[in-house]
Amino acid sequence: MRIDIWSDVVCPWCYVGKRRFERALAAFDARAEVEVVHRSFQLDPARPKGQTQRRREMLMSKYRLTPAQVHDLDVRMEQTAAADGLEYHLDDGVTGNTFDAHRLLHLAADRGRQDEALERFYRAYFTEGRSLFDDESLTALAVEAGLEPGDVRAVLAGDDYAAAVAADIREAQALGANGVPFFVFDRRFGVSGAQPIDVFSQVLARARENRVASNR
């Protein structure tokens, strides 16, 4: 069984959704038969590479919110993350174009380190306040996740995996995914958002039942 998960590395709900799905998968008795593939999505694809903006300023502009409203949103998000065992610090973060981070996640997939790289990027951004928008920081984080420095620098210096990232985004759009996280179970069942653990458990069971029935 294959599970495709579209996400963006600056999406707070994506990290929460990843953790909830992982808990459902850990309790799934056929988990050894499941392949998880992380797919690329950009929440702000029009932002120029290297240009960053304070998260709170972006949210205020995008959703027409006051500073107090954004603060309240961040506090609630931090509390939600904490309930799922994640530590978020959203006070003073910046946001930017994540295309290069996604290219490195494709490199990590080719090296068998995709989950490790994605987890490192999430923790760096949401817990440690580190940048995912410049080559120096991305290189350091990717190496910490187990990638070779030379491979990382070569990708960032060129356009390797750009087509793969673009293809992921097009497929998400074709599937009707306007936001993330977005999960597709065995290419049949779609789940949008960071759903409760029991929802993921139910869909895993349904996907397995469908696979068994189709193989009869």
The answer to whether residue 215 scores a pLDDT higher than 80 is no
The answer to whether residue 86 scores a pLDDT higher than 80 is yes
Lay out the sheet containing 189-192: strands in order across.
35-40, 2-7, 182-185, 189-192
Nearest partner of 177 among 194, 188, 164, 193, judged by Cα: 193
User: Looking at residue 57, what is its pLDDT?
Assistant: 95
User: Looking at residue 51, what is its pLDDT?
Assistant: 92
Domain count, the chain: 1
Q: Output the 3-class SS for the chain.
A: CEEEEEECCCCHHHHHHHHHHHHHHHCCCCHHHCEEEEEECCCCCCCCCCCCEEHHHHHHHHHCCCHHHHHHHHHHHHHHHHHCCCCCCCCCCEECCCHHHHHHHHHHHHCCCHHHHHHHHHHHHHHCCCCCCCHHHHHHHHHHCCCCHHHHHHHHHCCCCHHHHHHHHHHHHHCCCCCCCEEEECCCEEEECCCCHHHHHHHHHHHHHHHHHHCC
Cβ atoms of 191 and 200 closer than 8 Å: yes
The predicted-structure confidence for 177-199, as pLDDT tens digits, reads as follows 989 999 999 999 999 999 999 99
The predicted-structure confidence for 105-130, as pLDDT tens digits, reads as follows 999 999 999 999 999 999 999 999 99
The predicted-structure confidence for 22-72, as pLDDT tens digits, reads as follows 999 999 999 999 999 999 999 999 999 989 999 999 999 999 999 999 999
User: Looking at residue 53, what is its pLDDT?
Assistant: 95
* Crossing angle between the packed helical segments 55-63 and 67-83, to the nearest 10 degrees: 110
Strand partners, 94: 54
User: Looking at residue 129, what is its pLDDT?
Assistant: 96
User: Looking at residue 214, what is its pLDDT?
Assistant: 79
User: Looking at residue 124, what is its pLDDT?
Assistant: 98
The answer to whether residue 209 scores a pLDDT higher than 80 is yes
The answer to whether residue 3 scores a pLDDT higher than 90 is yes
User: Looking at residue 138, what is its pLDDT?
Assistant: 98
Of the pLDDT bands very low, low, confident and very high (cuts 50, 70, 90), residue 216 is: low
Strand partners, 2: 35
User: Looking at residue 161, what is its pLDDT?
Assistant: 98
User: Looking at residue 160, what is its pLDDT?
Assistant: 98
- Pairing of β 94-95 and β 182-185: unpaired
Q: Considering the entire predicted model, what is its pTM?
A: 0.95
Q: Which domain holds residue 150?
A: 2-214
Q: What is the CATH number of the domain that holds 133?
A: 3.40.30.10
The predicted-structure confidence for 144-176, as pLDDT tens digits, reads as follows 999 999 999 999 999 999 999 999 999 999 999
